Amino acid sequence: MPYPQLDRSRVNMRPLRERKNKKRIEQDHIALDTQPRGLTPSDERLIAEVAERIEASRAADRSVMLAFGAHTIKNGLAPVLIELIRRGWVTHLATNGAGVIHDWEFAYLGESSEDVRANVARGEFGNWHETGFFINLAINVGAWEGRGYGEAVGALIQREGLEIPTPARLEQEVRAVLKADPARAAAAAELLGVIRRFELEPGWLAVPHPFKEFSVQAAAFELGVPSTDHPMFGHDIIYNHPMNNGALLGRAAERDFLRFAAGVDRIAGGVYLSLGSAVMSPMIFEKSLSMARNLAMQGGRRIDDHYMLVVDLQPSHWDWRQGEPPEDNPDYYLRYCKTFARMGGTMQYLSADNRDFLLALYRALSGRRAPGE
């Protein structure tokens, strides 16, 4: 007997425009000329050091990677992130599933951030049709097209729609490539099932995004900068919607992980910034660095002069440049610091609000020559 599964096709999905939101991007975004607050002289010296490292890394054509939690988007910092990639200071952006969702909802509706407590009590949390339908559809089609998770959603926003292939084309592809490329055939078969189940009309599906100027993913897609998403299944509201397809989502997320790892492969002499991410960023970095070092050693290379800055609100009384503290020190249990302290290179920790750090970093870099200038 198989274990029972919840039938999410029976969940009542409501229109996204009926949801009350806490954030409105037009009024809540952070302008580039906003002044950072609450930074100490020591904080400012550290940020100046990071800016100097970034300048040197980009001059040497090394990776400068910025991984961030969803609050960075929810707090309206998209304009700062967009400018950092537009000027070439940051070569790779990485976030989690919630970061993608806030970014998409801001671009599509101009609003995001629902009341979790109240909506769970009403059985409404996450059960919003457009968010689940369009994000999952973009991933489903993008996975078949060969895109990663973040790239697929960025393409949907920037292009304001996507192309639905005909069932006949997908059927033909399944038959044609099944022996030579079964993975490709499987992706086509999965997408065929989605199109049939939802009776999707082939051709261009227009999905307007009137606020796409605030989308980090759209800007990254337009600029050709990798913007990768690193989800955990069941963590995000898009899993509530029956448009969600685990096989296709897994393909897109796998591509993003390997693209992230390719960025880490070029982190020697580079910079890694981990901003407000307690789990995703340290976990994907340590696996990627291990793989990159394995390959580097096979080729006689080393990855040991990278610079890592971790930024979060939690105070820390340990100097993380010394490595990790002993187990009887409470700071030992700051996992997002401890992981990076084990990664070699130089690691520093800054206790600061993501808003103030990014604004200060942008200001520190604005006085320097951007790559290509």
pLDDT at 125: 96
Q: Name residue 347's beta-bridge partners.
A: 308
For the chain, the maximum distance between any two Cα atoms, rounded to a whole number of angstroms, is: 66
Distance of CA 100 to the CA centre of its chain: 6
Rounded to two decimals, what is the model's pTM? 0.96
Structure tokens at 311: 């930024």
What number of residues does the chain have?
Answer: 373
According to DSSP, residue 180 is labeled T
Pairing of strands 271-275, 161-164: unpaired
State how far the Cα of 167 lies from the Cα of 227, in Å rounded to an integer. 30
Rounded to the nearest 10 degrees, what angle do helices 216-223 and 97-109 cross at?
90
With a CB cutoff of 8 Å and minimum separation 6, the contacts of 126 are 119, 132, 236, 237, 238, 240
Backbone angles phi, psi at 314, to 5 degrees: -65, 125
State how far the Cα of 190 lies from the Cα of 207, in Å rounded to an integer. 22
Pairing of strands 161-164, 203-206: antiparallel
pLDDT at 235: 94
The helix (H) or strand (E) run that includes residue 66 is: strand 64-68
According to DSSP, residue 313 is labeled S
pLDDT at 186: 98
With a CB cutoff of 8 Å and minimum separation 6, the contacts of 61 are none
Structure tokens at 221: 């897609």
- pLDDT less than 70: residues of the chain: 372-373
